[in-house]
């Protein structure tokens, strides 16, 4: 099996440190808002890696974190913590916000049939580990304390190591580009330095005691600390979105190299970004589509609702390292293709078991091409194209144009079970999807009735609707932009 290693910028034969055991760490969501298509792409991409390694017989320890502290608004050691800001705006405790959006993330990933990781640590639950790592870096002389905050000295590190080894960035060029633009960074020795620990300003909700101040960890630190705790000082694969390559993953390498004496992992894997009709996806452009909106069709850019498996299949039709462009045409094509795939799976179960060896060689050839594609850096588009060769053969047999022997039929059953269901994680939940859409429509109709009651200042009726929904396992969440819900 070959995977593209972002660190070396080439495909390499995957050789785990301790076969058959494999350690994977993937950067998970920052839980201050609902998951969108970008979250889905990363989760599905690494779900394929997880599933395929298991299919090949490896014993996988898969760690995916939850960021619930330390992610600043401008990701440059200044601004307001995104989760704390959401808590302030909604007048909630930060952990209420984190719990709610973590549950929402799990709900959406479950709908996409993304397998949950074996370990899912949160940053706020590993403060002591992060404090310990900061102290190690200070003791090694690669960090400094200013007014209760601790910063990693990137310039000193770069003299002895290579800050930019993953992203290809050059420290001198970064310093030149940021010269004269030090707003909010006055404490740093150099503009490229990053926070390991930040002193909490007055009124900051999320804060912990440390040897340097009451404060909170820097965003980059959590993954280094939690990766080491659960996978050791060096593990096999670290994954995440391309947007995390710099500065997040670059800073992880630097921290770990000083604290552990080695780089955190041997292989770096990054999934590429989502575009929408050729444009970068973003809230400011109004084209950031939440997963719930995909499933319900409630977004101006959506021509219809799309079932979770359609979204998953759409994601798999592009290589994880390629840009994935959303359009309704592409989604509708994915919907039709998925139906053909599931229809063929149903037909296989009904094919007669003929006493002949016809087409065993053809099915063997298709199977081999699928595994060659998956072994080639998880090339799911090629694997799917080969699956449709099998679909055409199945349809020809169903129409009586070809006579497929029972051995070949059994091969096809095994292929669809192993690859379609197992590795690609596609399940035929078309009826379940219809029921889900119906349930969502009914709940939203009730929420509209509740909104009307609130507008008429009939707060008793509004509270009664909320309470009755809660008894049915429907948790209503009120926010300035309107009400949403989750299922317990």
> H/E/C letters for each residue in 64-121?
ECEECCCCECCCCCCCCEHHHHHHHHHCCCHHHHHHHHHHHHHHHHHHCCCCCCCECC
pTM of the model: 0.87
Residues 321 and 267 in one domain: no
Q: What is the pLDDT averaged over residues 330-340?
A: 97
Examine the domain organization and report whether 223 and 346 are in the same domain.
no
The answer to the question of residue 140 being in a domain is yes
Per-residue pLDDT, averaged over 440-455, amounts to 81
Is a pLDDT exceeding 80 seen at residue 186? no
Res 95: pLDDT: 87
Residues 275, 38: Cα–Cα separation, whole Å: 9
- Asked if residue 435 belongs to a domain, the reply is no
pLDDT of the residue at 46: 98
* One domain, residues 143 and 187: yes
In a domain, 436, yes or no: no
**433 within domain boundaries:** no
Please say which residue of 244, 271, 298 terminates a domain: 271
Same domain for 194 and 319: no
Report angle CA 256, 259, 263 to the nearest 5 degrees: 30
Write down which residue in 271, 298, 317 finishes a domain. Answer: 271
Taking the C-alpha atoms of residue 263 and residue 219, their distance in angstroms, rounded to an integer, is 18
Q: What is the mean pLDDT of the chain?
A: 91
Strand-pairing partners, residue 270, are 240
Residues 122 and 148 in one domain: yes
Q: Report the candidate in 140, 136, 107 with the shortest Cα–Cα distance to residue 40.
A: 107
Residues 385 and 462 both lie in one domain: no
> What CATH number does residue 34 fall under?
3.40.50.620
Based on the fold, state whether residues 449 and 402 are members of the same structural domain. Answer: no
Residue 86 lies in a domain: yes
At 141-154, the pLDDT tens digits run 999 999 999 999 99
Q: Give CA–CA dist 26/174, Å, rounded.
A: 27
Reference 113, options 415, 423, 471; nearest CA is 423
pLDDT band at 77 (very low <50, low <70, confident <90, very high): low
Q: Say whether both 86 and 181 belong to one domain.
A: yes
One domain, residues 178 and 220: yes
Q: Are residues 21 and 124 in the same domain?
A: yes
Contact call for residues 337 and 313 (beta carbons, < 8 A)? yes
Domain-located, residue 438: no
Give the chain's domain count: 3
pLDDT number for residue 484: 73
- Residue of 12, 11, 33 lying closest to 479 (CA atoms): 33
Does residue 430 form part of some domain? Answer: no
Whether 103 and 180 map to the same domain: the answer is: yes
Which band of pLDDT confidence, cut at 50, 70 and 90, is reported for residue 258?
very high
Maximal C-alpha separation, the chain: 81
Burial class (CB in 10 A: 0-12, 13-18, 19+), 332: middle
Domain enclosing residue 52, as ranges? 2-271
Is residue 87 a contact partner of residue 94, using CB atoms and an 8 Å limit?
yes
Last residue of a domain, one of 271, 293, 309: 271
CATH number for the domain that contains residue 416: 1.10.730
With a cut of 80, say whether residue 254 has pLDDT above it. yes
Q: Verify that 300 and 337 share a domain, yes or no.
A: yes
| Burial of 160 per CB tally in 10 Å (0-12, 13-18, 19+) | exposed
The model's confidence at residue 180, banded by pLDDT at 50, 70 and 90, is low
Q: Is residue 440, in this structure, part of any structural domain at all?
A: no
pLDDT at position 462, please? 85
Q: What is the pLDDT of residues 199-233, one digit of tens each?
A: 999 888 889 999 999 999 998 999 999 999 999 99
């Amino acid at each position: 099996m070959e995977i593209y290693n972002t660190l070396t910028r080439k495909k390499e034969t995957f050789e785990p440190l301790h076969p058959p055991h494999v350690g994977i760490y993937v950067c998970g969501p920052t839980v201050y808002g609902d998951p969108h298509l970008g979250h889905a792409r990363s989760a599905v991409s690494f779900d394929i890696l997880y599933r395929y390694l298991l299919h090949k017989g490896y014993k996988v320890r898969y760690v995916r974190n939850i960021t619930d502290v330390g992610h600043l608004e401008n990701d440059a050691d200044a601004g307001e913590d995104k989760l704390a800001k959401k808590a302030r705006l909604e007048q909630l405790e930060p952990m209420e916000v984190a719990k709610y959006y973590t549950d929402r993330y799990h709900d959406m990933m479950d709908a996409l049939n993304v397998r949950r990781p074996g370990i899912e640590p949160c940053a706020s639950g590993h403060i002591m580990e992060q404090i310990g790592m900061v102290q190690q870096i200070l003791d090694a002389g690669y960090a400094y304390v200013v007014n209760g905050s601790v910063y990693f000295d990137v310039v000193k590190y770069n003299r002895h190591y290579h800050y930019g080894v993953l992203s290809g960035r050059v420290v001198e060029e970064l310093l030149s580009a940021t010269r004269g633009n030090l707003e909010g960074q006055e404490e740093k020795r150099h503009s490229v330095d990053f926070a390991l620990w930040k002193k909490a300003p007055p009124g900051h909700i999320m804060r912990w005691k440390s040897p340097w101040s009451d404060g909170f960890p820097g965003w980059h630190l959590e993954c280094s600390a939690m990766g080491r705790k659960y996978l050791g000082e060096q593990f096999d694969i670290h994954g995440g979105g391309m947007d995390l390559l710099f500065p997040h993953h670059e800073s992880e390498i630097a921290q770990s190299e000083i604290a552990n004496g080695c780089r955190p992992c041997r292989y770096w894997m990054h999934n590429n970004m989502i575009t929408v009709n050729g444009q970068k996806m973003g809230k400011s452009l109004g084209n950031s589509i939440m997963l719930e909106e995909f499933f319900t069709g409630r977004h101006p850019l959506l021509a219809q609702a799309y079932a979770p498996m359609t979204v998953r299949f759409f994601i798999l039709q592009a290589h994880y390292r390629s840009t994935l462009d959303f359009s309704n045409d592409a989604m509708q094509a994915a919907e039709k293709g998925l139906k053909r795939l599931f229809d063929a799976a149903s037909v296989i179960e009904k094919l007669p078991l003929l006493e002949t060896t016809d087409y065993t060689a053809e099915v063997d050839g298709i199977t081999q091409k699928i595994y060659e594609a998956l072994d080639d850096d998880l090339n799911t588009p090629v694997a799917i194209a080969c699956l449709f060769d099998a679909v055409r053969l199945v349809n020809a047999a169903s129409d009586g144009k070809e006579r497929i022997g029972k051995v070949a039929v059994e091969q096809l059953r095994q292929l669809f079970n192993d690859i379609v269901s197992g590795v690609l994680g596609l399940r035929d939940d078309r009826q379940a999807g219809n029921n889900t859409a119906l349930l969502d429509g009914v709940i939203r109709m009730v929420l509209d009735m509740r909104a009307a009651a609130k507008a008429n200042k009939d707060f008793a009726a509004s509270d009664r609707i909320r309470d009755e929904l809660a008894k049915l396992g429907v948790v209503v969440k009120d926010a300035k932009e309107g009400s949403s819900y989750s299922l317990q």
